[in-house]
Amino acid sequence: MTVRANIADFLPEMAARQPEATAIVCPWGRRGGRLTYRELDERSNRIARGLKTVGIGRGVRTVLMVPPGLDLFALAFALFKTGAVPVLVDPGIGLKHLKSCLGNAEPAAFIGVTRAHAARVLLGWARATVRTSVTVGRRLFWGGHTLPQVEALGNSGNAPVGAANADDMAAIVFTSGSTGPPKGVVYRHGTFAAQVEAIRSAYGIEPGEVNLPTFPLFALFDPAMGMTTVVPEMDPTRPARVDPRKIIGPIQEYGVTTMFGSPALLDTVGRWGAARGVMLPTLRRVISAGAPVSPQVIERFQSMLPDGAAIHTPYGATESLPVATISSREILGETRNATDRGAGTCVGRPVESIEAAVIGISEEPINHWKEELKVPGGEVGEIVVKGPQVSREYFNAVEHNRLGKIADGAGVRHRMGDLGYFDEGGRLWFCGRKAHRVETKDGVLFTLPCEAVFNTHPQVFRTALVGVGLEGGKLPVLCVELEKGPRRGQRERIRQELLDLGGGFEHTRSIRTVLFHPGFPVDIRHNAKIDRAALGRWADKRVAS
């Protein structure tokens, strides 16, 4: 695998190979339009020169808060070209954590749209450290430069000089913190480059393809792979509420070959499209990540795809992506039945560049890697990964690094915080988050293997297992969100049917408390990661009353 010195190196290479090919098209909004690869490369060069002129150069941590569109792509590659360090914040974090994340990152510069700057000033985001600002749109009372001013400053001069080597910091990406406070994941240029190569290799992506990405961060990989990006009209923080016509329409109009979407988006679009007999003949692959995708959602969306196309569900995290991958053919043709019986969710075999292992479950830090930490095949433990696309550290977070990283010679292994096991064929099965396991007096219950049994009920939308009571002796409680339709009077019948389902399997037989919830609290970005801490507090009150 070729490791590049700068993730931005991909762009001029593609601009030389296919200068007039469309890099980005944004068919909606005031800032809509189209850029070829040559235009994107030249514009990002101008912006990079201008940014260096105003003091945003190599090593300068720079918050980037610009919605998906032409400006976002040009700015992101300009920052990479200067060797600056973009600070990218997951839209699922929300205002509650945003201030602490930006304070933790200690950025010296802030590039954002008007409303982002207004919030920065009024709410005091990174007030102690931000010295340089660039406004995309109308600049008000906060001073600094506008994007057109920066671009004008870069109209002449030498080509920008990027990072010196693959180990230079390329970005800080804050995760959604679904099982704890948000953490700033440090990406090196080599990390980004390894991710591009791993994704391209795993899915056979070729230059000239067309992608519809519904999560902005993943869109930044497209120019590096020579793809055309079609920016969809949607709120990336509310994927479950997307208008299906604004996804299906661009796929058909632009001949989209690849689409990335969260499980919630696939569910919404799949229900709408399958009910209307929609077909998407140009799609070769659909990639869905962020949370496990149920076989029902996969089957529904698959019905819209042509023969030979597949839905791929890569397993990974912000700290390491991809780790493993599996296609809809294998899920629907083989692993689905095992999942429904409580085997967990099969996430496939590790990709070529990843070394994955399963170790004993522990809350303690592990300073140094030893092979003896591994558990036998088939035994559930914590998933640990090593490879070029695995981040080595969190930014400014000593305790998170102590608990989440294991030194292994000159490298680092990352503790995923997920539980799973390897089957006899070398496939990895996911059994839920380590923090979500329920320790009862009779043993440990893992969330996904338990929930999958109950999710087979036709009137159940999803379930979540939580524990109520004291540590080590918790009462397992099944929280249930029903499909639209069943009325309150039907709940007792459904409750009994669920208890009968659980009674048929040894690992779910002890779950005898069922609570119906009107709508689970979930993360904003994927609309699929359940806030089990909040759900547990809700269940605790109802069990106690």
- Tens of each residue's pLDDT in the chain, 545 residues: 445 568 888 999 999 999 999 999 999 887 789 999 999 999 999 999 999 999 999 999 999 999 989 999 999 999 999 999 999 987 667 777 889 999 999 999 999 999 999 999 999 999 999 999 999 999 999 999 999 999 999 997 776 656 558 899 999 999 765 566 789 999 999 999 999 999 999 999 999 999 999 887 778 889 999 999 999 999 888 888 999 999 999 999 999 999 999 999 999 999 999 999 999 999 999 999 888 899 999 999 999 999 999 999 999 999 999 999 999 999 999 999 999 999 999 999 999 999 999 999 999 999 999 999 999 999 999 999 999 999 999 999 999 999 999 999 999 999 999 999 999 999 999 999 999 999 999 999 999 999 999 999 999 999 999 999 988 789 999 999 999 876 778 999 999 999 999 999 999 999 999 999 999 998 766 666 888 999 999 999 999 87
Separation between Cα atoms, residue 294 and residue 430, nearest integer Å: 13
Same domain for 461 and 429: no
Token look-up 């083989």 returns 334
Whether 288 is in a domain gets the answer no
Same domain for 44 and 129: yes
According to DSSP, the β-strands at 428-433 and 345-350 are antiparallel
Same domain for 50 and 163: yes
Number of H helices and E strands in the chain, helices first, is 17, 27
* Final residue of a structural domain among 156, 190, 224: 190
- Domain of residue 172, residue span: 31-190
- 354 contact partners, CB below 8 Å, separation of at least 6: 198, 320, 322, 323, 324, 385, 386, 387, 389, 390
Whether 229 is in a domain gets the answer no
Q: Which residues of 458-467 are buried (b: 16+ CB within 10 A; e: fewer)?
A: ebbbbbbbbb
- Cβ-based neighbour number of residue 220 at 10 Å: 22
Whether 37 is in a domain gets the answer yes
Query: What CATH number does residue 491 fall under?
Result: 3.30.300.30
Query: What CATH number does residue 387 fall under?
Result: 2.30.38.10
Separation between Cα atoms, residue 175 and residue 195, nearest integer Å: 17
Same domain for 422 and 519: no
Whether 457 is in a domain gets the answer yes
The radius of gyration computed from the CA coordinates of the chain, to the nearest angstrom, equals 24
Contact between 134 and 144 under an 8 Å Cβ cutoff? The reply is yes
Same domain for 182 and 40: yes
pLDDT number for residue 189: 92
State the alpha helices, DSSP H only, in 389-455: 398-404, 447-455
Same domain for 399 and 353: yes
pLDDT number for residue 96: 76
79's tokens: 């920052």
Contact between 498 and 454 under an 8 Å Cβ cutoff? The reply is yes
Count of the separate structural domains present in the chain: 3
Query: What CATH number does residue 97 fall under?
Result: 3.40.50.980
* Final residue of a structural domain among 190, 219, 234: 190
Q: How far is CA 130 from the centre of its chain?
A: 28
Q: Which of 450, 447, 395 has the alpha carbon at shortest distance from 417?
A: 447
Separation between Cα atoms, residue 350 and residue 113, nearest integer Å: 39
Same domain for 163 and 35: yes
Same domain for 179 and 38: yes
Whether 290 is in a domain gets the answer no
Whether 104 is in a domain gets the answer yes
Contact between 14 and 226 under an 8 Å Cβ cutoff? The reply is yes
Q: How far is CA 530 from the centre of its chain?
A: 14
* Final residue of a structural domain among 190, 213, 238: 190
Whether 511 is in a domain gets the answer yes
Same domain for 154 and 48: yes
51's tokens: 């940014």
Q: What are phi and psi for residue 15, nearest 5 degrees? A: -65, -35
Q: Which of 242, 234, 236, 206 has the alpha carbon at shortest distance from 222?
A: 206
pLDDT number for residue 1: 43
Same domain for 422 and 408: yes
Same domain for 451 and 419: no
pLDDT number for residue 6: 81
Same domain for 460 and 358: no
pLDDT number for residue 292: 85
pTM of the model: 0.93
Whether 218 is in a domain gets the answer no
